[in-house]
Chain A
Amino acid sequence: QLQLQESGPGLVKPSETLSLTCNVSGGSMSSNSYYWGWIRQPPGKGLEWIGSIYRSGTTFHNPSLTSRVTMSLDTSNNQFSLKLTSVTAADTAVYFCASLPHFWGQGTLITVSS
């Protein structure tokens, strides 16, 4: 049973870069069984897929965010990461990491404000 836990700054200033890390436990990130994703949910709204990264390191991003998103995988440390550049208030959301579709982190609220 995989367990995932997001870690991040909580508060980010407009125009800066948001960096999040997801720590994975309870299984090997090198397994073919899993692919890793980031999803966000603005307050009171629905779920939005941000992007996914595969064991090979190949990434796929939401077309609406692709120019601002970078994802990376660090299997030796059982973690993967998200960077979102040039953030605005519209990026305020709970950010989830997941091994889609089965296992999700609890989510972390990121607020963009000066």
Chain B
Amino acid sequence: DIQMTQSPSTLSASVGDRVTITCRASQSISRWLAWYQQKPGKAPNLLIYKASTLESGVPSRFSGSGTGTEFTLTISSLQPDDFATYYCQQYNSYSDTFGQGTKLEIK
């Protein structure tokens, strides 16, 4: 099974900051990686798929990069609405896996 290791677990930042979250796969997943934002009591909301493709309607301050085993999600300038929990998900194999999540908190 492919394991996904997401870091950091918690990230404290301020409005306007540039932040980066990393996801590492235990083996190559090509570019079959998605990033989600989740707020309390809500379903995850897709931000990025195929490692770097921005989902329709998602602000351009969100970007994704990477291939193989190492991936990043970058938020270029944090907005108040961005404080949430973020998850990566690999869907390369027929056995999907999620990262453990990164909680983005207000500093």
Contacts and interface: CB of A to CB of B under 8 A. Distances in A.
A60 B43 contact: no
Contacts of A62: 95
B96 A37 contact: yes
Contacts of B100: 46
Interface stretch (B17-25, B68-76, B86-94): B86-94
Contacts, number: 50
B94 A52 contact: yes
Size bin of chain B's contact surface? 20 to 34
Q: Is the interface of B mostly helix, strand, loop or mixed?
A: loop
Interface magnitude class on chain A = 10 to 19
Interface-centre pick from A47, A61, A106 (highest chain B CB count, 10 A): A47
A39 B91 CA distance: 13
Contacts of B89: 47, 49, 100-101
Interface of A: 37, 39, 46-49, 52, 60-63, 96, 100-102, 104-107
